Amino acid sequence: MAIDARWEEQGGLYRKYSDTLSIEDIMYANMKAMGDHRSDELRYVIADFLDVKRSSIGPDDISKITLFDQPATRTLQYLKIAFIVRGETQQALAKLYELESRDGTSWQCQSFSCVGDARAWLAVDVKLPQLALSC
């Protein structure tokens, strides 16, 4: 597992996941991010899964992740999460997170096939600079 996490100036966090991915990897990354002082100003997360080659994450794990994220929804009442995914399995898991995280939160989630489209979606409310990114 490899997770490259990069904090961005506009109040965002870009995470690039690669290789093999487990629920423990995601939980650790979430815990580490929420423990960082910059998370107080967090407005968006880009979770890029395009380089993941193998994953043991299933629907039950998504339920655990959304439950783990619940305390953060009280502190970060407004957050946009852009999932960069490919394939039916990744798309279905991202959609499941979106559906399960709707209860009791105003977080918005959306899936994309490339970072450029995700940044365009984020730019609407988060006031990101318009970059000439294409997929």
How far is CA 61 from its chain centroid? 15
Residue with tokens 């918005």: 108
Q: How confident is the model at residue 54 (pLDDT cuts 50, 70, 90)?
A: very high
Assign 103 a pLDDT band (cuts: 50, 70, 90).
confident
Q: What is the mean pLDDT of the chain?
A: 88
Q: For position 132, what pLDDT does the model report?
A: 46
Q: What is the DSSP track for the chain? A: -EEEEEEETTTEEEEEEEEEE-HHHHHHHHHHHHTSGGGGG--EEEEEEEEEEEE---HHHHHHHHHHHHHHHHH--S-EEEEE--HHHHHHHHHHHHHHTTTT---EEEEESSHHHHHHHHHHHH---------
What the chain holds in terms of domains, given with CATH numbers, is: 2-126 (3.30.750.24)
